[in-house]
Amino acid sequence: MGNASQLEKDVENEEWLKDLQENRILDFSRKVTHSQFLKHIQQEYTEASLSDLPWSILENVNLYQHVNGSFNNISHLSTNLALRIPHLTHLNFSYNSLTEIPSSIALLFHLKELLLRENQLICLPEEMCLLPKLEMLDVSFNQLQSLPKGIGKLQKLSKLNVSHNYLSSIPSSLGLNPHLFVLVANNNMCTNPPQDVCNNSDQLLVYLREHAPEVLTFRQLNHFPRIRSNVARSQLDDDVRTQNVASYVQTLTQTSKPASRAKTPLLFPSHGTKCSPDDLRDKIIGLIYGTVLGDTLGVATEYLMTDEINFYYGGGRLDHHSIVQDEHRSHFPRGKTTCLLIFDSILRWSGVLDELELARRLIDYSSKGLKDLNGEPLITSSVVNRLLCHERFSIDPHAVASETAKLFDEAICEDLHALPMAIMSGLPQFYNLTEVQSNATRVCRTTHNHERVIKSTSLLASIIALILQGCEMDNIKEVVTNQNLVESEFYYSGNLAYEENNGMKDELANVLSAALHCLEEKEPHFETTLTNILFLGGQSRIYGAVCGGILGCRSGYAHMPARWLEGMHPSVTEWLNERLNHLLDMMGLP
């Protein structure tokens, strides 16, 4: 395998092999002179350089604790390395040609020192953050563009060298590590923290500890009552759930009892997301619950004056039980929500979003309400109510909506009820941005067939899809900007204050401004950010549903405030949990 013949000859020398085994050290590094070193870093490799690990190391389980393979030309590590050398404590593959590290490295439970200096690594697997005893990590002189989000979980890590890469940020979670005392990050392209700060280890550690995210204890996390119906438990053991999505999907499709495609119509491709299966599940549940929380809590502040909002709900008093009753709020019993029609449609039609189906469901809802949720139907959109009165709406909703849009003209942009449906449109086929935007457009044209509203719904659906794909926030903003989904002159502002457009409030622009604001913070706090948005008043149910969905998708269900979740009406929670379990089954998620 590779050009490992020289090492194979050495291994045949029993005395040499015995000596290594007694000392539990395996050293097949090359010793180089200065001139050889200069050639090596210019990728001028000699014939003596190994291009792969020899079979003699990997064909049997052994007890090596120290392995040094530096100054070779090894381009990849076997996924079986952790199984063949399970007791490794020190691993040095510096000065090689590694382009990736297998996720199975997480199985090296005893590893304390990992040296990967001067390779060609572009990214590190998130699974590396599961190494419980890692104390020293050197990934300097690579091509890293980002570090794993969970790198702060390496609580034994005391020395980290990420210098001479292409990093734009250093994860603030490293500030939670009390043992980290050396962090070398010079010669990068950091903007957060600024590169000037990153050039000094002490200054960088102080900065990260000042900006460290809030620590949530195990008891503070929410746990969704997952009930699987179509996948055997043996296929989804906890160790599988620590894999990346590619490995997880491969597990689903290669087991002796793979999930039926009829039962998993929303199974996504292995390259569809960078999120782990558990993280993706948490984001999806957070998306749905966040949308509902924003909608139901938005009732509390809708159309109230700022002083009234602060009087009734200031000081952390905002919850479902403290909603002040008046003529407007009496229409909304606790937990009542109208933003779930499209979610229910996604489930019933296996991810297909069809305008005729949506029109039919709107008509049914207007007379019967939402199935399995008792209560009178309530549609507060003047545009939708007008459409429901048209006899051709069930036959050709796009045409009827187009006629209505021409009648309302720009006034239709002030009716924002198409926006929460756009949030849900980003869920099916989230891995295909073109399909997501097509779905959002089709849904929007069913009720609000106006170019500005259509463009706005495409923006919101794209944001959700990109979050589910595991994209960084800067990348999301870049994508929506490059696709001309954001028109800066009336869409984006740097704060949450209402924008003025020719002396008049532009509600559509304000909602989109608030939605983009939800992408600004590196680690958003769901309750704080959503409260600030709801305190804007106005059409706060719409603001809440849109921004709650985005924030919930970013932070995940586990990090939502428990008191808000517990304040939802039990019938709504039961309804959501039943359908979310069905959705996760359809997607093949744990």
Quickly count: other Cβ atoms within 10 Å of residue 448's Cβ. 29
In the predicted model, is pLDDT for residue 239 greater than 50? no
Rounded to whole angstroms, the Cα distance separating 449 from 307 reads 36
Range of lowest pLDDT (17-21, 265-269, 422-426, 501-505)? 501-505
Quickly count: other Cβ atoms within 10 Å of residue 560's Cβ. 23
pLDDT mean over 66-74: 89
Rounded to whole angstroms, the Cα distance separating 576 from 564 reads 15
The pair of three-digit structure tokens given for residue 110, joined into one six-digit string:
């005893």
HEC string of 228-272 equals CCCCCHHHHCCCHHHCCHHHHHHHHHHCCCCCCCCCCCCCCCCCC
Question: 399 falls in which pLDDT band (50, 70, 90)?
Answer: very high
In the predicted model, is pLDDT for residue 218 greater than 60? no
SS3 at position 8: helix
The CATH architecture to which 277-587 belongs is Orthogonal Bundle (1.10)
Range of lowest pLDDT (54-58, 103-107, 420-424)? 54-58
> Which fold is adopted by the domain 5-210?
3.80.10
The pair of three-digit structure tokens given for residue 200, joined into one six-digit string:
């000094």
In the chain, the percentage of residues whose pLDDT exceeds 70 is: 82
> Given the structure tokens 């040094």, which residue do they identify?
68
In the predicted model, is pLDDT for residue 256 greater than 50? no
Range of lowest pLDDT (333-337, 455-459, 472-476)? 333-337
Polymer length of the chain? 590
Q: What angle, 0 to 180 degrees and rounded to 10, lies between the N-to-C axes of helices 418-425 and 341-348?
A: 30
Rounded to whole angstroms, the Cα distance separating 139 from 94 reads 9
**Does residue 379 contact residue 338 with C-beta atoms inside 8 Å?**
yes
So what's the pLDDT on residue 143? Answer: 94
Cα angle vertex 329, ends 326, 334, to 5°?
125
Tell me the CA end-to-end span of the chain in Å, nearest whole number.
Answer: 38
Q: What angle, 0 to 180 degrees and rounded to 10, lies between the N-to-C axes of helices 451-468 and 433-447?
A: 140
**Does residue 335 contact residue 344 with C-beta atoms inside 8 Å?**
no
Distance, CA of 431 to chain centre: 12
The pair of three-digit structure tokens given for residue 324, joined into one six-digit string:
């002040």
Give the residue, 478 or 158, on which the prediction is more confident. 158
Q: What is the DSSP letter of 533?
A: H
So what's the pLDDT on residue 254? Answer: 44
SS3 at position 311: helix
pLDDT mean over 454-478: 90
Question: 550 falls in which pLDDT band (50, 70, 90)?
Answer: very high
In the predicted model, is pLDDT for residue 236 greater than 90? no
The pair of three-digit structure tokens given for residue 557, joined into one six-digit string:
């269900």
Distance, CA of 183 to chain centre: 26
**Does residue 212 contact residue 172 with C-beta atoms inside 8 Å?**
yes
Q: Give the contacts of 43 (CB within 8 A, at least 6 positions apart).
A: 97
**338 annotated among ligand-binding-site residues:** yes
DSSP 363-410: HHHHHH-STTS-S------HHHHHHHT-TTTTT-HHHHHHHHHHHHGG
66-68 vs 182-184, strand pairing mode: unpaired
In the predicted model, is pLDDT for residue 290 greater than 90? yes
Q: Which neighbouring-strand residues pair with 8?
A: none
Q: Which neighbouring-strand residues pair with 26?
A: 67
pLDDT in tens, 561-587: 999 999 998 888 998 999 999 999 988
So what's the pLDDT on residue 497? Answer: 53
**Does residue 223 contact residue 558 with C-beta atoms inside 8 Å?**
yes
In the predicted model, is pLDDT for residue 527 greater than 90? yes
* Region at 488 (left for phi over 0; alpha for psi -120 to 50; beta for the rest): alpha
Cα angle vertex 83, ends 80, 85, to 5°?
105
Backbone angles phi and psi of 306, in degrees to 5: -55, -45
Rounded to whole angstroms, the Cα distance separating 290 from 126 reads 26
pTM of this prediction exceeds 0.85: no
In the predicted model, is pLDDT for residue 490 greater than 80? no
In the predicted model, is pLDDT for residue 135 greater than 70? yes
In the chain, the percentage of residues whose pLDDT exceeds 90 is: 38
pLDDT mean over 114-127: 92
Rounded to the nearest 5 percent, the helix, strand and coil shares of the chain are 50, 5, 45
So what's the pLDDT on residue 344? Answer: 82
Rounded to whole angstroms, the Cα distance separating 48 from 27 reads 14
In the predicted model, is pLDDT for residue 251 greater than 60? no
So what's the pLDDT on residue 350? Answer: 75
SS3 at position 177: coil
pLDDT mean over 190-201: 92
**What is the pLDDT of the chain when averaged over all its residues?**
82
The pair of three-digit structure tokens given for residue 241, joined into one six-digit string:
């759930």
Question: 437 falls in which pLDDT band (50, 70, 90)?
Answer: very high
136-138 vs 113-115, strand pairing mode: parallel
Indicate the domain borders of the chain. 5-210, 277-587
Q: Give the contacts of 1 (CB within 8 A, at least 6 positions apart).
A: 52, 53, 54, 55
Give the residue, 165 or 506, on which the prediction is more confident. 165
